[in-house]
């Protein structure tokens, strides 16, 4: 595996791989690699002849008072992990080479969805994310880029950006990887105290409750939201930020669940803020199925 800090070198290496006939699979990360990242690289390895991974803790996606300075950084360990996962190139740019003029004046506007949910709790976050992802995708060039479903809002915004700005990259979503007790893997989990770690599966419990209600036929999104909030509220050290039930295509908040929907939750455990989400089980009601088949018969 080649390790480079140079953007030009990274661009050239990906470009050479393409010229030699490989599909370039790119996994952008902020490091502190865990098995969730491992799944992203494994998916890229399966599908692409050349796998590139980047590690860059992007300052402009952290708000004032957020955990930019305490975000886990462990390059030596990460570099060994990236090599063992079979990456071909590891790109670790320095901040001054990514942003030679400091904060960029031209940035990617994430649109209205960028202001909601994570965007409401973390103003400017998605502008920072999309701006750095656009830069990284431009450097990696044509190919596939792999993102985890844990950051579901980030994933949908990256998809929208790639589509709206005609970036020649296929975005591939990779399912959440969980600990045995349901906690979604996250680089931030290492910062949980023992007590916080014990409480953190409350997030997945809340999502499981929403999924069970949906499976049992509950269609009132407020009932799901209330039950999710109740589960988080039952955990004395968890501080709920939000629960949400959104349409999985439009990401609008739902009143009634009438199609594929996503449940999302964010909460703070001490100084660590965690997020998680699941796609809710969905089956159209028998009446809707009957209507569709008679519609089809009429055609």
Note the Cα 174 to chain centre separation in Å.
Answer: 9
Asked whether position 189 contacts ligand PAF by CB under 6 A, the answer is no
Considering only 29, 186, 189, 272, the residue that binds ligand PAF (CB under 6 A) is 29
For ligand PAF, the closer CB: 134 or 209: 134
Q: Does 58 bind ligand PAF (CB under 6 A)?
A: yes
- The least CB distance from residue 132 to ligand PAF, in Å, is 5
What value, to the nearest 5°, has the Cα angle with vertex 60 and ends 54 and 61? 75
d(CA 28, CA 248) in angstroms, rounded, equals 24
Note if 37 is an active site residue.
yes
Give me the DSSP letters along 51-107: EEEEE---GGGS-TTSSTTTS---HHHHHHHHHHHT-SEEE---HHHH-TTSS-SS-
Which residue, 173 or 209, has its beta carbon nearer to ligand PAF? 173
Residue closest to 124 by CA, chosen among 104, 106, 110, 105: 110
Among 61, 79, 153, 272, binds ligand PAF (CB under 6 A): 61
Regarding 114 and contact with ligand PAF (CB under 6 A), the answer is: no
Cβ of residue 221: shortest distance to ligand PAF, in angstroms? 27
Stretch 148-177: interaction string toward ligand PAF, x if CB under 6 A: ---x--x-----------------------
Question: 149 vs 241, which CB is nearer to ligand PAF?
Answer: 149
The continuous run of DSSP H or E covering 276 comes out as: strand 272-279
CB of 247 to ligand PAF, least distance (A): 23
Verify binding: residue 118, ligand PAF, rule CB under 6 A. no
Q: Are 187 and 179 in contact (CB under 8 A)?
A: no
Catalytic residues: 37
């Amino acid at each position: 595996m080649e390790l480079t800090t140079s953007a030009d070198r990274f661009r050239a290496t990906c470009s050479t791989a393409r010229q030699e006939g490989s599909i370039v699979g790119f996994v952008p990360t902020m490091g502190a690699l865990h098995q969730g990242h491992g799944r992203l690289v494994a998916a890229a390895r399966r599908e692409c002849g050349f796998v590139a991974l980047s590690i860059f803790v992007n300052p402009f996606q952290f708000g004032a008072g957020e955990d930019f300075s305490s975000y886990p950084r462990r390059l030596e360990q990460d570099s060994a992990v990236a090599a063992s996962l079979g990456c071909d190139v590891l790109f670790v740019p320095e901040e001054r080479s990514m942003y030679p003029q400091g904060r960029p004046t031209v940035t990617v506007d994430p649109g209205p969805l960028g202001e909601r949910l994570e965007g409401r709790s973390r103003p400017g976050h998605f502008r920072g994310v999309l701006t750095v992802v656009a830069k990284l995708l431009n450097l990696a060039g044509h190919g596939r880029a792999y993102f985890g479903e844990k950051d579901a809002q980030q994933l949908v915004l990256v998809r929208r950006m790639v589509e709206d700005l005609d970036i020649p990259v296929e975005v591939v979503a990779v399912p959440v990887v969980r600990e045995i007790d349901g906690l979604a893997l996250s680089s931030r989990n290492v910062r949980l105290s023992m007590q916080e770690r014990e409480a953190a599966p409350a997030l997945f419990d809340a999502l499981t409750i929403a999924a069970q209600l949906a499976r049992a036929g509950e269609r009132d999104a407020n009932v799901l939201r209330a039950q999710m909030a109740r589960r988080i509220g039952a955990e004395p050290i968890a501080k709920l930020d939000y629960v949400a039930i959104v349409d999985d295509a439009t990401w609008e908040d739902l009143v009634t669940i009438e199609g594929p929907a996503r449940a999302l939750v964010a909460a703070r455990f001490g100084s660590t803020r965690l997020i998680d989400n699941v796609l809710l089980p969905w089956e159209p009601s028998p009446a809707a199925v009957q209507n569709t088949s008679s519609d089809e018969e009429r055609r």
